[in-house]
Amino acid sequence: MASRGEFLTTQEVSELLTVEARQVRALAEKGDIVRVARGIFDRTSVERYRTERGRGRTRTWAEHTAWGAIALLSGAAPLGLGDTQTYRLRAALIDITDPTELATRLRDRAVVSTWSGHRSVSDRVREELVVPGRRRLGLVESDAIVDGYLETERIAGLVRRCRLREDPAGPITLRCTSMDMDFIAYLAAFNRTLAAVDAATSLDPRERGVGEQTLIRRLDLFRDNARR
């Protein structure tokens, strides 16, 4: 890639995402990537978009299906899925061996946005989220980094109270979902699966690698149990 700074041109984004220039503009209009000026885009937002989408044209699962898959991989019962849907989901998980494909399919479990704020608000924000935690994966936790889940309808109030500002490179990651938060808290505390799903789309190569390796082990275990 030609640019090594914080910004990319339309051509660079087009080459990085392997899409046409008009699609780059469309992604910016939808808010999937951040345009900072005419023909100039925020690098972090583009890299995050590429990481979350994975390779190729992998089809994503709907929100409740994605959470059902995470539950099954965690060894828990899915919430709100019928027997037929659960059966099909089990079969689909058995066929997946690539952690990147899995992470892409699970993308729509939440709408992800990143924010900045005064350093004093980190603890306040963290208290309102379900945080799977990096420590579960053997990664070092940072007091300055916040990453967790909350109900979609609560994000506006949280942003207002804590005076957050949207920032593609911000240290606060909010994952908004309509799934029952008690269920998400249960999955987060149950084992490392949810933490690994989050880590697998990290922009940090080491964190992403740890997440992917954990997902490979969860997929292997799920496949072994299904054959018994």
Separation of alpha carbons 2 and 180, rounded Å? 44
Q: Is 163 inside a domain boundary?
A: yes
Structural domain range at position 174: 109-202
Q: Is 145 inside a domain boundary?
A: yes
Separation of alpha carbons 41 and 156, rounded Å? 25
Query: Of the residues 53, 74, 90, which one is the last residue of a structural domain?
Result: 53
Confidence (pTM): 0.83
- Which of 32-36, 80-84, 144-148 is predicted with the least confidence, judged by mean pLDDT? 32-36
Strand partners, 115: 166, 172
Pairing of strands 165-166, 40-42: unpaired
Does one domain contain both 44 and 118?
no
Asked if 34 and 70 count as a contact pair (C-beta separation under 8 A), the reply is no
Separation of alpha carbons 227 and 220, rounded Å? 11
Mind giving me the DSSP string for 64-112? HHHHHHHHHHHTS--SS--HHHHHHHHHHHHH---HHHHHHHTGGGSEE
Angle at which helices 205-227 and 83-95 cross, to 10°: 120
Instruction: Give me 149's structure tokens.
Output: 């889940």
pLDDT, residue 6, reads 87
Read off the pLDDT band of 141 (50, 70, 90): confident
Q: Is 133 inside a domain boundary?
A: yes
Q: Is 215 inside a domain boundary?
A: no
Average pLDDT for 44-72: 85
Residue with tokens 């309509």: 178
The enclosing H or E element of 131 equals none
Average pLDDT for 124-133: 95
